[in-house]
Amino acid sequence: MATLYLTEQGSKLTRDHARLRVEREGEVLLDIPAFKVDRVVVFGNVQLSTPAMAYLMEEGVDTVFLTIHGRLRGRLESPHSRNVPIRIRQFERFREPDFRLTIGRAIVQGKLENAIRVLQRFTRNHPGEADFSSETAALERGIRQTEVAAEVGSLMGIEGTATAAYFQAFAKMMRGDLQFVGRSRRPPRDPPNALLSLGYSMLTNEALGAVVAAGLDPYVGFLHGIDYGRPSLALDLVEEFRHPVVDRLVLTVLNRKVLAAEDFQVREDGGMVLQEEALKRFVKEYEQRMLQSFRHARTNEPMTERKLLHTQGQLLARTIERKAEYLPYLME
């Protein structure tokens, strides 16, 4: 099973019996058996025919619509899960401050621990190139501070301070000509930030699908709370994956010059975005990263990042249902 990324501007996804086709100006760009597709991601100006949309909804194929720059437009989905009891329990848990604090603490600790592990991995692979001692100390201090945090708001403050230190280290890991001077978004001001924002958006949309598949309401989060139109629970889930998945991917494609300065363009608002052909390359690298196989540290089972995201979504549902301990994903 595979994710179908539609990036060819002006193209159209159609269905012909048991096959899905991508066409543009009368030319067939792709023709595949429909059963092989379990997710569709649409970038920018790409159309879907009514038969194609009907098939995707009937088969429960998660379909996400993004702008050409990776911002979420919406999702096409079949009716919500019939597992009403788990969503009722989720709403009840949201009203329990101690539960929100406990699960929020686990998420933030997992995120900061993974940040440390990214720095350790870089040090092993590139000995002597950078000193991360001060940033690592700030991340470790943040983990200790989460233990005494009395409310979710405090956890968010701790996470923000520690993550700022981490991004100072991220700049030191840039080995090519492109520079990273700090995290910027809405709009991203340089190529590394453009890729981080795009990668985080793609990952968050996958996390949204994972929590919906687990029967949960993606808009009721525990760390991120509730904000109109924001998929807060998906944002909760994605935190532990940001640094080991997206950040390492961005470093790979830039440090190995898979993407270069000429692959980006500046928008009218001053933001930096990928050109269309470069977007295809980044999507390909992202998909390879999500499908890369490894052994799960706790179960020793074969795993991919995409499968692990859904596994963590199921674990989140069990945590909500049983008030069990939530164990965040920790990078090896």
Q: Please report, in tens digits, the pLDDT of each residue of the chain (332 residues total).
A: 578 888 888 899 999 888 899 988 888 888 888 888 888 888 888 899 999 888 888 888 888 888 876 777 888 876 655 678 899 999 999 999 999 999 999 999 999 999 999 999 999 999 988 899 999 999 999 999 999 999 999 999 999 999 999 999 999 998 877 888 888 888 888 899 999 999 999 999 899 988 988 889 999 999 999 887 889 999 999 999 999 999 999 999 999 999 988 999 888 777 888 988 899 999 999 999 988 887 766 666 788 898 899 899 999 999 999 888 899 999 88
Shared domain for 70 and 92, answered yes or no, is: no
> Could you give the CA distance from residue 121 to residue 226 in angstroms, rounded to a whole number?
35
At 228-251, the pLDDT tens digits run 788 999 999 999 999 999 999 999
| Cβ atoms 203, 214 nearer than 8 A | no
Shared domain for 30 and 149, answered yes or no, is: no
Question: Would 331 be classed as within a structural domain?
Answer: no
At 278-292, the pLDDT tens digits run 999 999 999 999 888
Answer with the one of 47, 76, 105 that is the final residue of a domain: 76
Q: How many helices (H) and strands (E) does the chain have?
A: 10, 12
Shared domain for 271 and 124, answered yes or no, is: yes
Answer with the one of 12, 43, 76 that is the final residue of a domain: 76
At 55-95, the pLDDT tens digits run 888 888 888 888 876 777 888 876 655 678 899 999 999 99
Name the amino acid, one letter, at 200: Y
Shared domain for 65 and 134, answered yes or no, is: no
Shared domain for 203 and 144, answered yes or no, is: yes
Nearest to 195, CA basis, from 257, 241, 264: 264
Q: What CATH number did the domain enclosing 269 receive?
A: 1.20.120.920
The pairing of beta strand 12-16 with beta strand 19-24: antiparallel
Q: What CATH number did the domain enclosing 57 receive?
A: 3.100.10.20
Question: Would 201 be classed as within a structural domain?
Answer: yes
Average pLDDT over the chain, rounded to an integer: 89
> Could you give the CA distance from residue 74 to residue 66 in angstroms, rounded to a whole number?
7
Shared domain for 18 and 120, answered yes or no, is: no
Question: What angle in degrees, to the nearest 10, is found between the helix axes of 276-291 and 248-255?
Answer: 130
- pLDDT above 90 covers a percentage of the chain that reads 52
Shared domain for 97 and 67, answered yes or no, is: no
Shared domain for 56 and 140, answered yes or no, is: no
> Could you give the CA distance from residue 170 to residue 135 in angstroms, rounded to a whole number?
10
How many residues belong to the chain? 332
> Could you give the CA distance from residue 73 to residue 70 in angstroms, rounded to a whole number?
9
Q: Which residue's entry shows tokens 């050409």?
A: 68
Question: Would 329 be classed as within a structural domain?
Answer: no
Shared domain for 92 and 230, answered yes or no, is: yes
Shared domain for 195 and 296, answered yes or no, is: yes
Check residue 173 and report its DSSP letter.
T
Nearest to 274, CA basis, from 290, 248, 250: 250
- Residue-level pLDDT at 297: 65
- Residue-level pLDDT at 81: 57
Tokens linked to 324 = 């069990």
Shared domain for 72 and 94, answered yes or no, is: no
For residue 328, cis peptide bond before it (omega within 30 degrees of 0): no
Number of structural domains in the chain: 2
Q: Please return the burial class of 297, using the count of CB atoms within 10 Å of its CB with bins 0-12, 13-18 and 19+.
A: exposed
> Sheet holding 62-66: strands in order across?
2-6, 37-43, 62-66, 72-76
Q: How far is CA 261 from CA 70, 177, 266, in A?
A: 19, 8, 11
Question: Would 294 be classed as within a structural domain?
Answer: yes
Answer with the one of 31, 60, 76 that is the final residue of a domain: 76
DSSP output for 180-194: --S---SS--SHHHH
Domain that holds residue 68: 2-76
